[in-house]
Chains A and B, each alone.
Chain A
């Protein structure tokens, strides 16, 4: 398994270079995982992508690097502490880097000779491929998928000339990746939503959720779905609510700041019982926070956002496959229970790309509403009919003679505004009773590690890959570790947690926030306390190494 970093200033083309290299690696039979680290600026500063690749699937990034491609000296200065002793720094010969590991090449000169300074990244990719003993065989396919046709020839030439500059240092036996796909977390959410039948997406651009809007914009016409860029997040969610009311499965997406603006409407979906899927791609807050970075600090916010009480579901997305299957499942749950379902993800998962087994859209179960009895002339349709399950049969306006009336005010069974104490009680109970059924179909947290573990790590969402890898590494020494990783997180499934809590000596919550929000939720719901915390809140994703270091510190050294 190898780990390389491509770094430069914003505008240097690191993003284009990394996505091209990813495609070539994938076509060459490598699994990979790319973490992206951007600054909130269009030009300058320091951006990088860290690509980890191997012949086995990978679910997280690691800190230690085998190679660095540095566009500038900053990249070297920032990352050389991560570079292994036999690692390399690949850069242009003009850079002032003094390090025995440096490999200076005439990248700029070659690009200049070819006639386009931008092909420098292809020269570098060629050099990198040779270093890892990979061929140029698949570069052509990857270039065709990434570039304009008139740019392919010069980039092929750049790749070849870079390739000829270096010699192999590492070697990797190729795997079979033909049944794997390479995509980002947000793309996986988009595909999952489409597979579930989503036909309306409204959003206001906000990092790191914007790529979802861009995904739907790119495929909207072809998929015949409506995609609307709203004037603000308040409009975005109210649009999605309108579409859902009119019978069209709808979704909105944003980050924490935009979600804050959506909160009143979230409560509206609760009282009006309008199904809706809302994606919160978390970034560090509060307010503008760190716009392009990552955090898991919206958990307690999204489970309690809005005045008043109503049922909702929150699903924390754990990895790229999960993004697809849970996005699809969220539609089924939202429409079955007529509730808002919030998908909680973050910048790390949204922007990172990885190879995962081909997604199976036919495995997606879509909710089929039960057939309704025809209306009689004497009895008007009751949108909020009181039923045993709390779920009222829904109708689509205009599709039958039923008049569908919904209200953000408290209302009676017909959707008519009321202040009756009796009806208020009935309606609150009706809405909340939907949770009883929902709780029966919650997915318990995934368990990973040794069944007889003494130490239990608990985490949720995007730290999944790092936690699992850390547990595996810890268990290589002593089979003492296990982990529970929550996907369904609100309502909190508690069975498996309660089981392990009686067995283990210590529970350690691993979270990308400062206050241990998962530990707090667990305590509130189960009275189970976590003994230790490994927390990170600097905007950079918790790595396998951070977890190992955290455990080491807790134990006072191995």
Chain B
């Protein structure tokens, strides 16, 4: 049998959408891994970003809006031999799925979470998302936040995330490097990927991001949590991209050695003898 590779199929995204570059980059990264397509599960919620897993030749779990993370962690718990990657949007991850975003950081299951952050709702045609910029009250536009914008990276670091990064769909080389590092990281990894929405976001355009994104210096120390939190608060004339914070702390799997041994849960057999004994305990 020929070696299976990851390929993409025709997409339903707008021409010029940042998702195309994310898809192309992800395919490239996946093909560099040793893992074959049938060992990779792409999980998504609902939205333009979540459609990505429809377009890749891998296992695909297209779930409910906002609910990709709980399903993804359970897939990983069920079979820790699988590589589990979530691709979904800013509305899905930070709005509808906000509660899961916070609590799955705390779980630190070894999954990768790519948030395609275009700072707007695309599929529903142009409403502000949690990450949309603050409204300039003297010059109101349609897609801005009257509420305070949500800072996903700051929240992730504060909540104990062990890998927190930002990249940009317009810099494929950078994106590929970050995606690769995120997948390799042991534990939950978050990559907030800035991408333009060509149809609805007239503020945060390709040119807007291109002008502002700035890779972190070589000297940047990603293990310094307080410095990382400060860095996460920079979002304006310059937007830092790169791995803002990374630490190795015990993963969900490592904290449960009785469950995660050499045999994945999917292959374990609940012992009939043990059950019989358990029932007899009620005599």
Contacts and interface: CB of A to CB of B under 8 A. Distances in A.
A402 B58 CA distance: 9
Given A194-B275, A404-B59, A398 B39 contact: yes
A398 B38 contact: yes
Nearest to B79: A246
A202 B75 CA distance: 13
Interface residues of B, number: 54
Interface size range on A against B: 35 or more
B82 A361 contact: no
A453 interface: no
A224 B78 contact: no
B3 to A, nearest CB: 11
Most B-side CB within 10 Å, residue of A180, A245, A404, A415: A245
A238 B45 CA distance: 11
A408 B62 contact: yes
Interface in B261-276: 265-266, 268-272, 274-276
A226 B64 contact: no
Most A-side CB within 10 Å, residue of B4, B61, B73, B81: B61
A222 B270 CA distance: 10
B266 A247 contact: yes
A408 B58 contact: no
Most B-side CB within 10 Å, residue of A226, A398, A405: A398
Nearest to A222: B274
A240 interface: yes
A247 B46 CA distance: 23
A243 interface: yes
A496 interface: no
Interface stretch (A166-174, A228-236, A487-495): A228-236
Contact of B75 (A187, A236, A245): A245
A247 B79 contact: yes
Contacts of B54: 405, 407, 416-417
A245 B61 contact: yes
B131 to A, nearest CB: 21
Contacts of A265: 64, 67
B259 A219 contact: no
B58 to A, nearest CB: 6
B207 interface: no
A72 B152 CA distance: 55
Contact of A242 (B1, B71, B275): B71
A239 B73 contact: yes
B148 interface: no
A223 B74 contact: no
A1 interface: no
B15 to A, nearest CB: 20
Given A228-B74, A234-B67, A242-B73, A199 B270 contact: yes
Interface in A307-365: 358-359, 361-362
B279 interface: yes
**Helix, strand, loop or mixed for chain A's interface?**
mixed
Given A224-B268, A265-B64, A235 B103 contact: yes
Given A180-B283, A224-B258, A228-B77, A200 B62 contact: no
Contact of B265 (A239, A248, A361, A406): A248
A191 interface: yes
B4 A264 contact: no
Contacts of A234: 67, 70, 99-100
Nearest to B63: A408
B78 A248 contact: yes
Contacts of A406: 60-62
B72 A242 contact: yes
Contacts of B64: 238, 264-265, 268, 408
B219 interface: no
Nearest to A400: B38
A183 B282 contact: yes
B37 interface: yes
A401 interface: yes
B78 A242 contact: yes
A221 interface: yes
B74 A242 contact: yes
B62 A417 contact: yes
A405 B282 CA distance: 43
Contacts of B274: 222-223
A240 B74 contact: yes
A450 interface: no
10 contacts: A181-B280, A200-B265, A224-B268, A234-B100, A398-B39, A400-B38, A401-B4, A405-B59, A406-B62, A417-B62
Interface of B: 1-2, 4, 36-39, 41, 43, 46, 51, 54, 57-64, 67, 69-75, 77-79, 81-82, 99-100, 102-103, 258-259, 265-266, 268-272, 274-276, 278-280, 282-283
